[in-house]
């Protein structure tokens, strides 16, 4: 099983998370994935970038807890607020409900959602480090 390492110390928010994902998983490609969860999910299905061979991968995520904080409550609230500013592109009601849940101390953070997406891929073994 091949090992790929994410440098969590390089992650201080959603944009830098995707910069790190592109650096690690899209090296050698002439394009990068956009900053959205659907693109991340597509990437993890394999077929291009570091996952082109579709072989099982051990994904070591260094500074995991730092990334949890960087993609935590504040980043997630900002992400939902940005969606509310573009109601023609995003479902404002869904974003409002998610934001309200976070403000009550409930709901999923961006980090939680990323972990759920990774867990859906049987060929990826996540190793928090």
| Residue 90 lies inside a defined structural domain of this protein | no
Evaluate if residue 120 carries a pLDDT over 90.
yes
Q: What is the pLDDT of residues 19-60, one digit of tens each?
A: 999 999 999 899 999 999 999 999 999 999 999 998 999 999
Domain that holds residue 14: 2-72+109-128
- pLDDT band (50, 70, 90) for residue 64: very high
| Residue 9 lies inside a defined structural domain of this protein | yes
Sort 70 into a burial class: Cβ within 10 Å, 0-12 / 13-18 / 19+: buried
| Residue 29 lies inside a defined structural domain of this protein | yes
Q: What is the pLDDT of residue 89?
A: 85
| Residue 11 lies inside a defined structural domain of this protein | yes
CA-based nearest residue to 53, from 2, 9, 17, 5: 2
Q: What is the pLDDT of residue 87?
A: 85
- What domain count does the chain have? 1
| Residue 41 lies inside a defined structural domain of this protein | yes
Q: Please report, for the domain that includes residue 8, its CATH number.
A: 3.30.370.10
Q: What is the pLDDT of residue 126?
A: 98
Evaluate if residue 102 carries a pLDDT over 90.
yes
| Residue 65 lies inside a defined structural domain of this protein | yes
CA-based nearest residue to 23, from 42, 4, 3, 36: 4
């Amino acid at each position: 099983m091949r090992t790929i390492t994410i440098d969590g110390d390089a992650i201080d928010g959603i944009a830098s998370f995707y910069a790190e994902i592109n650096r690690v998983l899209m090296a050698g490609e002439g394009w990068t994935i956009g900053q959205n969860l659907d693109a991340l999910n597509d990437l993890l299905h394999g077929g291009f970038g570091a996952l082109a061979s579709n072989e099982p991968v051990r994904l070591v995520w260094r500074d995991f807890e730092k990334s949890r904080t960087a993609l935590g409550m504040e980043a997630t609230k900002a992400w939902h607020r940005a969606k509310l500013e573009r109601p023609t592109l995003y479902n404002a009601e869904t974003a409002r409900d998610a934001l309200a849940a976070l403000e009550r101390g409930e709901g999923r953070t961006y980090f939680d959602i990323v972990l759920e997406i990774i867990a859906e891929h049987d060929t990826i073994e996540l190793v928090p480090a």
